[in-house]
Amino acid sequence: DTAVSQTPKYLVTQMGNDKSIKCEQNLGHDTMYWYKQDSKKFLKIMFSYNNKELIINETVPNRFSPKSPDKAHLNLHINSLELGDSAVYFCASSLLAGGPTYEQYFGPGTRLTVT
Amino acid sequence: KNEVEQSPQNLTAQEGEFITINCSYSVGISALHWLQQHPGGGIVSLFMLSSGKKKHGRLIATINIQEKHSSLHITASHPRDSAVYICAVGPPWGSSNTGKLIFGQGTTLQVKP
């Protein structure tokens, strides 16, 4: 069984469209994250939810809106896509939001290409 | 300057060589993570450590909290070790940014047969 899964794996879309990426974890973790990896492979946190509550919200355009229907799911909706949104988006989860046991488990990534 | 710096950025080695990747950080931390990203793109957590040394197979990770420095060693390197290795630090327990990892820029390792 896949621990952290994301769909879709690849997403090609045109500027101005709205798209969503879904993430699910079956590890029983309380905390989930969205990361963006740019073309230079640099990872940066975007959002984090702890048991459906938003706890980290980095400086991200408000075109990006995370939604957590339950603690096993964290979806990312992006409105009015721009060329600069092209990147790989990773979902991750951890047992707790902090402390000594927050090893993070990553999903396979979603490669978003905006044309 | 990034809060987490890795060196080298790129590394090419011959199969069998001993490899060291370094990570220095400038912030207080509760733990340091080493991650591996294979060419296929997936990210796997290799180690999480807050003191001392951990070993898993041919991989060894060490951390010196006083010097704010960690190293990842690979013994008897193999072409399948070719990947991007990423260092990340987690903020002190109880801080407002609990859980937020700060990443280094990654080290791209290529091991040639």
- Distance from A50 to chain B by nearest Cα, in Å? 10
Residue type present at position B12? T
- A96/B99 touch (CB, cutoff 8 Å), yes or no: yes
How far apart CA B102 and CA B4 sit, in angstroms, is 7
Average pLDDT, chain B: 92
Say whether pLDDT at A99 is over 60: no
How far apart CA B76 and CA B15 sit, in angstroms, is 7
- Distance from B90 to chain A by nearest Cα, in Å? 8
Find the CB nearest B99 among A97, A108, A111: A97
Average pLDDT, chain A: 90
Buried b (16+ CB within 10 A) or exposed e, B33-55: bbbbbeeebebebbbbbeeeeee
Say whether pLDDT at B95 is over 70: no
- Within 8 A by CB and 6+ apart from B22, the residues are B6, B7, B69, B70, B71
- Per residue in A81-96, pLDDT tens? 999 999 999 999 988 7
Residue B97's pLDDT is: 53
A31 and A84 Cβ atoms separated by less than 8 Å:
no
Contact residues, chain A to chain B, C-beta under 8 Å: 31, 33, 40-45, 48, 50, 55-56, 88, 90, 92, 94, 96-100, 102-106, 108-109, 111
Say whether pLDDT at A1 is over 70: no
Going by their DSSP bridges, the two strands A110-114 and A87-94 should be labelled as: antiparallel
Find the CB nearest B43 among A40, A45, A90: A90
- A98/B101 touch (CB, cutoff 8 Å), yes or no: no
Contacts of A55 in chain B (CB under 8 A): 98-99
Share of chain B above pLDDT 90, in %: 77
Find the CB nearest B42 among A50, A103, A109: A109
- Per residue in B65-77, pLDDT tens? 999 999 999 999 9
B4 and B107 Cβ atoms separated by less than 8 Å:
no
